[in-house]
Amino acid sequence: MEVRIDQSEKRSWLEINLAQIRRNYKIFKKNIPEKTLVIAVIKADAYGHGDSIIANALTGLGVNFFAVSNIDEAVGLRNAGILCDILILGYSSPIYAKQLAALDLTQTIVSEEYAEALVATGYKIKCHFAIDTGMNRIGINSNSLEASSIIRKYANKLNVQGIFTHLCVADSEDPADIEFTQNQLNTFKIVADSISNLKLSYIHCLNSAGGLRYINQSNIHDSIGKIVRLGIVLYGLKPDSSVALPKGIKPAITWKSVISMVKKIKKGETVGYGRTYVAERDSIIATVTTGYADGYNRKLSNKGFILINGHKAPIVGRICMDQTLIDVTDVPEVRMGDIVILLGESKGFHYDADDMAKDLDTIGYEIMCGISKRVQRFYI
């Protein structure tokens, strides 16, 4: 049931549909083999959706493993009462070893040097070794003999529970990228096979795109594909524009703001900083109470649009820190206090983070993670 939100005092806010988040998870699960474990990725505050709220929404569906970026995010979840397994995907300074152990957090081992530093703390940290299969970001060398030797060396010095790698072009349809991904998968499988007698609980390599495109290969799911790290698709967005999402998976947010002022200007008058927009006709200009400090990208100046009353109102002039100006000449009866939609749907028009990302030559991830904390979050 939708919760009524008092919009009379709001300036910029997100309405986050938890039922849609749950629906996205269920649909994704139906599109992968039945017994696949899903690690829900809720780093960057669940891609701007609110990590502890999303975690609580998913634990009710049986999700019992989450992944975050750093120790601060993990501690925040523990403080919010999230008791499930939490994997920290990035580096945590060894000075936090005591806290990692006390909070029962699982730390990624980014290198052998880092493993040695954790051992030196005296705490037997739960951990997963990252294996570098070609992204060259973090992880130990994927040469099977070297990787096997390192993992075995620390198997008893640390509480090694798993290994993983990251597929960097699983979302691409380019033949060279498909070949590269297959090589990553094959390399990771060789490493996993070389330490099979350690019987580690968590062997994972598939992200959202990998889960949709590669999991059903028999040599994948039967060995290294029994776990998927579900990130961007959980929130209803595409890993890449070429990736087709299963039917029913949709964005879960609507970004709304409000009109603070409506005024008429004459042909030839200019609008905003730098006088970059010159009215080509007598116009009606409305001020929207959202700007780049809210995460509304300034590159949309003079080329983006905002939805209002089922119409697309073009952005005119430069987006300001706290406000954006739109031309509502062709929108009937716009008044102070009217609600506008920056991301979402309005009477048949749809514009989500993936659409905005296309206009800005970026990715939906950046759009969602860029929405600032001062944009209030409401859950419906």
Amino acid identity, position 191? V
Burial of 111 by CB count in 10 Å (0-12 exposed, 13-18 middle, 19+ buried)?
Answer: middle
**Residues contacting residue 222 through CB under 8 Å, at least 6 positions apart:** none
**Cα–Cα distance, 59 to 82 (Å, whole number):** 9
Burial class (CB in 10 A: 0-12, 13-18, 19+), 211: buried
Report which of residues 97 and 35 the model is more confident about.
Answer: 97
Contact 46, 34 (CB under 8 A): no
**Annotated catalytic residue, options 43, 189, 226, 256:** 43
Predicted confidence band at 95 (pLDDT cuts at 50, 70, 90)?
very high
Using DSSP's 3-state secondary structure scheme, residue 64 falls into coil
Whether 43 is catalytic: yes
For the stretch 251-288, pLDDT in tens is 999 999 999 999 999 999 999 999 999 999 999 999 99
Per-residue pLDDT tens over the stretch 192-236: 999 999 999 999 999 999 999 999 886 788 889 999 999 999 999
Answer yes or no: is pLDDT of 6 > 70: no
CA distance 338 to 334: 7
CA atoms within 13 A on the CB side of 160: 23
- Measured CA to CA, the distance from residue 286 to residue 54 in angstroms comes to 35
Quickly tell me which residue has 């938890």 as its tokens: 18
Answer whether residue 123 shows pLDDT above 60: yes
25's tokens: 């998870």
Residues 158 and 115 sit within 8 Å (Cβ to Cβ): yes
Is 273 part of the annotated catalytic residue set? yes
Q: How confident is the model at residue 2 (pLDDT cuts 50, 70, 90)?
A: very low
Structure tokens at 101: 């152990």
* Residue 281 neighbours by CB distance under 10 Å: 10
pLDDT at 68 over 80: yes
Q: What pLDDT was estimated at residue 216?
A: 87
Sign of the dihedral through C-alpha 112, 211, 64, 22: positive
The annotation status of 321 as a binding-site residue, yes or no, is yes
- 22 in a known ligand binding site: no
Task: Report if pTM > 0.85.
Answer: yes
- Domains in the chain, please, with CATH? 18-235 (3.20.20.10), 253-379 (2.40.37.10)
By DSSP bridging, strand 277-278 and strand 270-271 are antiparallel
Q: Which among 30, 98, 263, 273 is annotated as catalytic?
A: 273
Helix intervals (H) in 214-348: 218-219
